[in-house]
Amino acid sequence: MNTAFFNRFSLDLTDEQVADCSHQGPCDEDVAYWSKRIVRPTDITAERLAAELKDYGAWDEKQLSDDEANWQRLIWIAAGNIKDEK
């Protein structure tokens, strides 16, 4: 198990999830697949997740109001962070 640490929480991903969600090219389909299978920790609430992603400055308020998209963004970022740290 691998852990990605954020300011407000952490997220654990398997090696397979990291590889599938952080490869070259578009990862959208892989992230969408895993977003339905990764159990979301209870401390990653919609509010905390949106606040965490807001710190990146890459998404506007309207985009950050979509919790499902935010969950997928977090998985993608977590996978990339874990891959970069290895």
- Measured CA to CA, the distance from residue 44 to residue 23 in angstroms comes to 25
In the chain, DSSP finds a helix count (H) and a strand count (E) of 5, 2
Q: What is the pLDDT of residue 57?
A: 95
Q: What is the pLDDT of residue 86?
A: 83
* Successive 10-residue mean pLDDT values, the chain, 86 residues: 97 98 97 98 98 96 98 98 94
Instruction: Give domain limits for the chain.
Output: 12-85
